[in-house]
Structure 1
Amino acid sequence: MQNTQHRTVGQSLFHESAHLHVTGRATYTDDIPERQGTLHAAMGLSAKAHAKIKSMDLSAVKAAPGVIAVITLDDVPGDKYLGPFLHDEPVFADGETLYVGQPMFAVAATSHDLARRAAKLAKVEYEDLPAILTAQQGAEEKAYVLPPVHIARGDVEAKLASAPHRHDGDFYVGGQEQFYLEGQIAYALPGEDMDMHVYCSTQHPSEMQFMVAHALGQPVHGIKVECRRMGGGFGGKETQSWYFATVAAILARRTGKPVKLRADRDDDMMITGKRHDFRALFDVGYNDDGRILGVKFQYQLRCGFSADLSGPVGDRQIFHSDNAYYLDTFDILSIRAKTNTQSNTAFRGFGGPQGIIAIEYVIDDIARKLGKDPLEVRKANFYGKTERNVTPYQMTVEDNVIHELVGQLEESSEYQKRRAEIDAFNATSPVLKKGLSLVPVKFGISFTATQFNQAGALLHIYTDGSVLINHGGTEMGQGLNTKVAQVVAEELGVDFNRVRVSATDTSKVPNTSATAASTGTDLNGKAAQDAAVKIKTVLAEFAATKYGCAADEVKFRDNHVVCGDKASVPFDEFVRVAYTGRVPLWSSGFYRTPKIHYDFATLTGRPFFYFVYGAACSEVIVDTLTGENRITRSDILYDAGSSINPAIDIGQIEGGFIQGAGWLTTEELWWNKDGKLMTHAPSTYKIPAVSDCPPVLNVKLFENSNAEESIYRSKALGEPPLPLGMAVFLAIRDAIASLGEGRVAPPLNAPATAESILNTIEIVQAEARAKQLEKVTV
């Protein structure tokens, strides 16, 4: 819902850096003018998934043209093992390699090209060790990066045994490369007295600050990390920027020169982790209406060689295993399998999409088994308003609008009419088959680790009336800085163009949380608002004394400070007067999310401040002879609360939806039998292109206001749109199911590539023939 009672908040203002983006003048880390003497770094990577390093001859590397320094693990002056939670990742390989692509050493040379060429000259002798490459293998061998997590309610075995209908199954959902347009990069500048200034493309400057300090073995106050903007992050720059920040800093300390480490795209993809792929096993019991009576899930997540963020990602998958549905009796086991592959990490949705697709797959299965429309089964399982409204983790759903939202989308997308038209089309089209799916999403907003739900800001007003705000969030194209500037402008009653947001800087706002979990605007917007309110309070008291009115009569609006009927002074003029009166024109702000708590021992509590709701209806057409498919139309209705900036919000919804569709249709990660990632470049890994977008894409914001006191009653936009892309995957499944008259549940794994679709078509056609033969025989 659009705010209409405010001057800047609720308006579709342009992205604050849009003019820089389109003219190519936006400064990213690689665009910062290089200091004289800057060196360039590259890393030497492992060629083995799991092997003992028998010898590593770097003499040719050191002797290569332009090389100034070469470092290995022995040259790390501080902590040699790092990690966001567990310090279980060596800066460089420690006697053995743990995945293909693991950094083994780093080179600093006089140019980027010379550094990369030199890194290829290492001579390494390996002794192969047993490698675990899949989540299933890790689960079978009980190789875990973290202990399994189990959550249950009720006697699930009894419910399954007594259910009128029951079936089990399993499916696989692949991972996803973040594929940010700007790759991983850090630029480290050594200063006086052991200071280190690191420009880094990262979603978490404070964590990079601490990582660098640990690696250098010095206090945090000597490290400054700065990020003006990123060319995309999607979770891939939440923790795993540390490889690049620390190596650049170590080389800068070693050489005394500025060092830039810009990873080549192939190296970037080989080194860094992706969205966790997983295998799900399920057993579900349900009644004639399709209502779930009991369900068991076992999730096997491929975590990679270290813990990274696999613990909270796995937890978030559990938290979203209900999606929009009430699960009365359930048993969920999450296995965090250790594998000799990249250490998987955050990706937009952070485990939530993995949980949502699991229950959606099961719901879709139930509908096929019963011969019902999947939307009918979804509605039968929705959370209630006053009953059937407690989540598996014992949080009561208090803001449920899924019934109204889905009802509106069903009507506006003409779902029932198109359902009938598609059935008629499929009945007369032997090769081309259409599919339709309407999928709801309920997504919890907050970091599940309660302590991260806090933010700070620093606000300055200058004597010309211009305003500078610094906050702990990072801008990666999502419009965070634009929204924060809107909030500050609204609070101070000034034009949007008077407010500027400066680069994220650990020396200004300390101990910040990552810009992740869809909390960027919620946290930093509130912190900036707090800073503005503090300044307004002091200025209002000064104005009341100066102009002879009550403090509560002082209003900041339309670029003026209005003191009841006593005075109306232009904002810039008033600020100058306040300065001469020695009134402080700066303030810090702070915010912590209320109400939330979570007990990791009992797996219960209120991990989320509120829920975002949305739904997508997608139609596809599939060529059953080639597996080729197209999205022909998608309709989306999204609950953004009272939107701060509808234009930016709709853009985020569109992008998230397409990214989610890409995850489940084209973006295939493939490792060979030796554990080498073979899809490590744009030539072998296909993200959605413009041609993959549906020709008809209708996106609307649901009329609603956040029930909780969020920033101007808005709701988050970062992650929840992505799982809406499941409507495309399930529409493809619907099209394939038509080959079995809709009564066969296609065993379609994700991503639904042309090959996967053709394999599934063969299985469905064979099952349909068997059923037909059975009827004839009877």
Structure 2
Amino acid sequence: MTQHTPNLKAQKISGGVHTDQRHDSAHKHVAGEAVYIDDMPEPAGTLHVGLGLSNVAHGTLKSVDLSAVRAAPGVVDVLTHADVPGDNDISPSGMHDDPVLAQGKVQFHGQPIFAVVAETREQARRAARLAKVEYDELPAVISIWDLDTEKDKQVTTPLTLNRGDAAAAIAAAPRRIKGRMKLGGQDHFYLEGQVSLAVPGEDDEVTVYCSTQGPSETQHLVSHVLGVPSHAVTVEVRRMGGGFGGKETQANQCAALAAIAAKKHKRAVKVRLDRDEDMTATGKRHDFAIDYEVGFDDEGNILGVDYMFALNAGFSADLSGPVGDRALFHCDNAYFYPNVHAKSAPLYTNTVSNTAFRGFGGPQGMVGAERVIDEVAFAVGKDSLEIRKLNFYDQIGTPGERNLTPYHQKVEDCIIQRIVAELEESAQYARRRREIAAFNANSRFIKRGLALTPVKFGISFTKTESNQAGALVHVYADGSVHMNHGGTEMGQGLHLKVAQVVAEEFQIDLERVKITATTTAKVPNTAPTAASSGADLNGMAAQDAARQIRKRLTDFAADKYQVPVDQVVFLPNRVRVGNQEISFNDLVKQAYLNRIQLSAAGHYKTPKIHWDRAKGRGHAFYYYAYGAACAEVSVDVLTGEYVVERADILHDTGRSLNRAIDIGQVEGGFIQGMGWLTTEELWWDGKGRLRTHAPSTYKIPLASDRPKIFNVALTDWSEAYEPTIHRSKAVGEPPLPHGMAVLHALSDAVASVAEHKICPRLDAPATPERVLMAIERLRAEAAQAQ
């Protein structure tokens, strides 16, 4: 046995869990060296696809003349629904309502009717414009604002949550309010658009390099489209240039078209949408019409609430059912409702099929909850923060009965009171509230507003079978480690966090763990990287695999050196066996020479999860993540233009695996949520054409839109109530709703023009135009009341 003097300087590994590590590809991102699918060298003879899109919102296809398209320079083929060898359907919901290429009818402006396969991308796109398509146009439904949630078409079965008797509680309440809120959608606006490269193999095999959040789902849908078993299709993705939910299901169409053409022509085929095509032809965050009625007492205690969440599903089901469910799951946000009734209505329209977006309906539910809080606060003449604190769930460790959600799950880990109290103090809420009141009293044209909003976000997929993950870990004979799992990297640092978990298990430096591309050939049947569960699920699966190998090494060392198993201890980059030490590399080499298996497949499934949708009851979430944001704005009452002066955020990530990564996620989530609720306006004209289809017409937040003062902190005292991976908490989606603080700060500023006596009922996105209209409306209402 090789003996080593203990290295007293190496008492901790470099890059284990709970340490700040830079993103593994950060230097490549900055240098432009990170390889995305469009950067990959194209195989010789690669063909390119251009899409032929519908130019009406609804109609039957009377005739499709593609003769000029086929005759165009460079065109090799033109694909229609007749060229789909298997099922002409990529519906993730199993509703068979989402064709690869339109068949007989079109249901939204921009729906792909045919695909041009040409020698170059430019030739394919130019040829696609030469088609002559005639339609018998049909009436089109473009928005949901005037639809009837009971009579108009719904794409899937709605959900109802019910606890207590909301109608009776509201009727008996000392005070009652009814209202409606319009809440807009949001484009994902990832930096890398939808793109796939398909390379045909032998027999029925094909490999698809796809920018997808769900490699397994893409694999299964491509196999159905091709009419082959899933084992014939391999999907691989090293990284995405952003996803935000827009590549959970929407990536499948490009992947399917590339695969069909590749197999038909036995050549590699690439599909890459440009920004206009991408925004026109792919789904977005659902816009909602939120109807609410609330009963409350003179103190501001909510006694009963009734919600209807109508969402714009678009032309097909996609994920609209689960998104509507999520909205209902979060219609309480951090508040206890003694009596509640809530219902969803996923309404059919002739627009692109809306889909997953960071938060997956949860933020829309929270916005509805916060509107109700504002209504109550204005009605009783109190600061909205006071009403928020009055209606919180019971704090963890506090005996009481205010802990049951509308879906009958107990909230056992509530820490929102402490988070709000700490943020209220660190953001100097009370002092700034007084200063803003004094400022507004002496400022005629600029009004300031302040708001502090909480977040309680449930973590788990509501689709029970999605709460599982797999991982594959190899330890090579030289002691280096290869790590693969089913999650995908879209810039959020998932691969790095999982690598940290593996490094921690083996007690080796992070640089010795190789991060490899996600592929269905290594880890099968995985859930999409969504629902904020990437690190929770894949970290646990990788830990399981690593622990299997570590146990084999432990048993081998104990047997070889005749010591008890408990005397084999993994130390930083070495292993103590009895009273001797051996390097990790040497132990691995000895194990290999003794034919010890150094590879393992790990698996994890989230415990405790169960959900009965028909009854609206269950343990839908494993745990909750919490946080709060305080925002201050300045509004020009003559133009409606505004500036975010300051934002303070305190967010709960449990025992963070990597605080540097998590703080970046909180910052980005807040800005994305702020953009959704302020400047990011999607607008369709009367013919169903998306007019905000490019950066020139669709305004995402710029660097200049960030808060002038931006303070972000993570709690340093919390840890997950449940045994999550190293007691950390998810951080992908929970920070996005912090953008609500900006919306409510704007509402507070608007309310100042009527001395805070009228609820502004500010709809979102709160564009400068909408803010100005709200100011004028409040002034008119205040004048009438005098």
Shared fold (TM-score, shorter chain, > 0.5): yes
Q: Secondary structure in 2 aligned to 1:145? A: coil
1:593 corresponding residue in structure 2: 606
The amino acid across from 2:439 in the alignment is F
Give the equivalent residue in structure 1 for 2:206.
Answer: 196
Q: 1:763 aligns with which of 777, 780, 785?
A: 777
Partner residue, 1:167 = 177
How much does 1:572 deviate? 1.2
Q: Distance in 2 between matches of 1:671 and 1:426?
A: 37
Percent identity between the aligned chains? 56
What is the SS of the residue equivalent to 2:159? strand
* 8 Å contact from structure 1 (residues 138, 339) kept in 2: no
Equivalent residue letter for 2:529: T
Letter in 1 for 2:681: E
| Greater Cα shift, 649-658 or 378-387 | 378-387
In the alignment, which residue of structure 1 is the partner of 2:378? 368
**Contact in 1 for aligned 2:163/2:407 (Cα 8 Å):** no
Q: Which amino acid aligns with 1:84?
A: P
1:614 aligned partner: 627
> Residues of 1 paired with 2:227 and 2:100: CA distance?
13
CA contact (8 A) 1:370 1:743 kept: no
* Residue in structure 2 matching 1:349, options 348, 356, 359: 359
Counting only pairs closer than 5 Å after superposition, residues 736-747 of structure 1 correspond to structure 2 as 736-747=750-761
Contact 2:474 2:599 (C-alpha < 8 Å) held by counterparts: yes
Among residues 119, 130, 151, which one is paired with 2:128 in the alignment? 119
Name the Cα RMSD after superposition.
1.1
Determine the structure 1 residue equivalent to 2:156: 146
Question: 1:708-723 residue pairs with structure 2 within 5 A?
Answer: 708-723=722-737
Cα deviation for residue 570 of structure 1 reads: 1.1
C-alpha distance in structure 1 between counterparts of 2:59 and 2:146, whole Å: 18
Letter of the structure 2 residue corresponding to residue 63 of structure 1: A
Alignment check: 8 A CA contact 1:280 1:300 kept: yes
TM-score, with structure 1 as normaliser: 0.98
Residue 673 (structure 1) aligned to one of 662, 673, 686: 686
Deviation at 1:136, TM superposition (A): 3.1
Q: Residue type of the partner of 1:170? A: R
1:694 matched to 2:707: yes
Quick one: distance in 2 between partners of 1:201 and 1:87? 23
* Alignment partners' CA distance in 1, 2:309 and 2:509: 51
Deviation string 1:211-257 (CA, Å, 9 cap, x unpaired) is: 11000001110100000000000000001101100011111112111
Contact 1:139 / 1:335 at 8 angstroms: preserved in 2? no
Which residue of structure 1 lines up, in the alignment, with residue 642 of structure 2?
629
- Which consecutive unaligned segments of at least 5 residues does structure 2 have? 1-10
Q: Any conservation in 1 of the 2:159–2:613 contact (CA below 8 Å)?
A: no
Q: For 2:774, what is the secondary structure of its paired residue?
A: helix
Pick which of 590-599 and 17-26 moved more: 17-26
Say yes or no: does 1:184 pair with 2:194: yes
Preserved CA contact (<8 Å) 1:182 1:230: yes
- The superposition leaves residues 281-330 of structure 1 with CA deviations (integer Å, 9 ceiling, x where unpaired) of 11111111111111111111000000000010000000000000001111
Aligned 8 A contact 2:159 2:616 in 1: no
Q: CA deviation at 1:408?
A: 0.5
> Which secondary structure state, in structure 2, belongs to the residue aligned with residue 148 of structure 1?
coil
For 1:443-458, list aligned pairs within 5 A.
Answer: 443-458=457-472
CA distance in 2: counterparts of 1:5 and 1:595, whole angstroms: 34
Q: Distance in 1 between matches of 2:70 and 2:656?
A: 56
> For 2:571 and 2:353, how far apart are their aligned partners in 1?
51
- Checking the alignment, whether the CA contact within 8 Å between 2:648 and 2:712 is kept in structure 1 is yes
Alignment of 1:110 onto 2:119? yes
Mapped pair 1:572 → 2:582: no
**Is 1:642 equivalent to 2:655 in the alignment?**
yes
> 1:499 pairs with 490, 513, 533, which one?
513
| Paired amino acid for 2:571 | R
Distance 1:768 1:568 in 2: 80
1:90 alignment partner, SS class = coil
Contact residue 484 and residue 521 of structure 1 kept, 8 A: yes
CA contact 2:158–2:324 (8 Å) conserved in 1: no
Instruction: Write out per-residue CA displacement over residues 444-494 of structure 1, whole angstroms, 9 at most, x where no aligned residue.
Output: 000011110000000011122111110000000000000001000000000
Match of 1:583 in 2: 596
Given the two structures, how large is their TM-score scaled by the length of structure 2? 0.97
Are 2:110 and 1:101 equivalent residues in the alignment?
Answer: yes
Q: What does the per-residue CA deviation read over 1:49-97, in whole Å, with 9 as the maximum and x for residues that have no partner? A: 1011110100011001000010100110000122111221111111111
Name 1:268's counterpart in structure 2: 278
* Aligned counterpart for 2:41 among listed residues 28, 33, 36: 33
User: 1 CA distance for matches of 2:157 and 2:499?
Assistant: 43
- TM-superposed CA distance for 1:522, in Å, is 0.1
Question: Is the 8 Å Cα contact of residues 446 and 634 (structure 2) preserved in structure 1?
Answer: yes
Equivalent of residue 728 in structure 1, options 704, 728, 742: 742
Q: Is 1:437 aligned with 2:451?
A: yes
Aligned to 2:235: 225
Q: Is the 8 A contact 2:13 2:507 kept in 1?
A: no
Rounded to whole Å, the distance in 1 between the matches of 2:314 and 2:419 is: 39
Structure 1: how far apart are the matches of 2:748 and 2:299?
19
Contact 2:162–2:616, Cα closer than 8 Å, also in 1: no
Deviation at 1:575, TM superposition (A): 1.1
In structure 2, what is the equivalent of residue 776 of structure 1? none
Whether the aligned pair in 2 keeps the contact of 1:266 and 1:680 (CA below 8 Å) is yes
1:309 to 308, 319, 330: 319
Corresponding residue of 1:331: 341
Cα pair 1:434 1:622 within 8 Å, conserved: yes
Distance in 2 between residues matched to 1:388 and 1:513, nearest whole Å: 34
Q: 2:456, 2:624 within 8 Å by CA — same for their partners in 1?
A: yes
CA contact (8 A) 1:138 1:144 kept: no
Mapped contact 1:56–1:122 kept (Cα < 8 A): yes
Query: 1:60 is matched with which residue?
Result: 68
Q: How many Å separate the matches in 2 of 1:189 and 1:70?
A: 19
CA distance in 2, matches of 1:577, 1:149: 58
CA shift, 1:5, in A, is 9.2
Q: Is the 8 A contact 1:139 1:300 kept in 2?
A: no
What does the per-residue CA deviation read over 1:153-192, in whole Å, with 9 as the maximum and x for residues that have no partner? 2222221122111111111000000000000000000011
